[in-house]
Structure 1
Amino acid sequence: MRVSMTLSLPRQPSSATGARHILTSLLSLTDASEDARANLAVLISEACSNAVIHAAPGSDITITIAINDDVCLLEVGNRGNTPDDTRLDADLPAPLTIGGRGLPLIAALSDTAAFIAGPPDQVLLRITKHLTDVRAAPNC
């Protein structure tokens, strides 16, 4: 199955909820595993929430969802800049605080996640996630 959709949502907290509902509706049409569905719901929620928090005032959040066979690609963008030292890794901040968990959570739940080059003054986060369990082929 191949499905793609691009959304432009207002910079408000309810946009993360709306994006999650759209993604889960699209995933219901696939053979995605329950784990993949749950992880993708968290991934889009975190990415959109971060975009809403860090976007320039008055700007929109752009979201691209592309499902291609067994992989889901999410791109979440906003007008703004990434700090120079922003990185994605699975280390949770210590002590665990209310803020600062989004990027480590995204890194831990995705197959790949990275900030990629986009138009000037745009932040674009690309996330990929396999929809089924990917297992190594047995040795012959």
Structure 2
Amino acid sequence: MRVSLTMSLPRQPSSATRARHALTTLLCLTDAGEDTRANLAVLISEACSNAVIHAAPDTTVDITIRIDDHVCVLEVGNRGVTPDDDTLAAGLPAPLTVGGRGLPLIAALADTATFVAGPPDRVLLRITKHLTEVRDA
């Protein structure tokens, strides 16, 4: 199965909840297990919360959710700067002590998580999670 959703949400705290609800709805179409769905909910919530906090004023948080067979890819982007105003070619900051708990939590729960290089005023975090755990029928 392949399904995708792209949305631009306002830069406000409630956008993390909206993104989580959209992801949860899409995951209901899959056989992903409860733990995997819960981990993905935390991943999108943390990524969106970070984007809201660090986005430039009066901009949006752009989210893409792609489920392709047994892989879920979350992309959360915003106009702003990367952690510590660094230009990251890829990867997460090392050590993962920048800011709060968001990036370490994302790194722990995702199969992969990386900042994707782009224009200087654009931040895009790509998170991948395999849907290998199957829920009980």
Q: What SS does the corresponding residue of 2:38 show, helix, strand or coil?
A: helix
Q: What SS does the corresponding residue of 1:118 show, helix, strand or coil?
A: coil
Give yes or no for the alignment of 1:77 onto 2:77.
Answer: yes
1:33 is matched with 33
- Structure 1 distance, partners of 2:117, 2:105, is 22
Q: Which moved more, 1:117-126 or 1:43-52?
A: 117-126
Q: What SS does the corresponding residue of 1:25 show, helix, strand or coil?
A: helix
1:22 is matched with 22
- Is the radius of gyration larger for structure 1 or structure 2? 1
Which residue of 88, 92, 95 corresponds with 2:92? Answer: 88
Displacement of 1:132:
1.4
CA RMSD of aligned residues (A): 2.1
Residues 61/44 of structure 1: CA separation in 2 closer, same or farther (3 Å cut) = same
Deviations 1:1-41 (A, max 9, x none): 10011100000000000000000000000011111100000
2:121 is matched with 121
Residues 90/72 of structure 1: CA separation in 2 closer, same or farther (3 Å cut) = farther
CA contact 2:87–2:120 (8 Å) conserved in 1: no
Unaligned runs of 5+ in 2: none
Q: With the length of structure 2 as denominator, give the TM-score of the two structures.
A: 0.86
Displacement of 1:74:
0.3
Unaligned runs of 5+ in 1: 94-98, 134-140
Q: With the length of structure 1 as denominator, give the TM-score of the two structures.
A: 0.85
After superposing on structure 2, the runs of 4+ consecutive aligned residues of structure 1 that deviate more than 4 Å are 89-93
CA contact 2:66–2:74 (8 Å) conserved in 1: yes
Q: Percent identity among equivalent residues?
A: 77
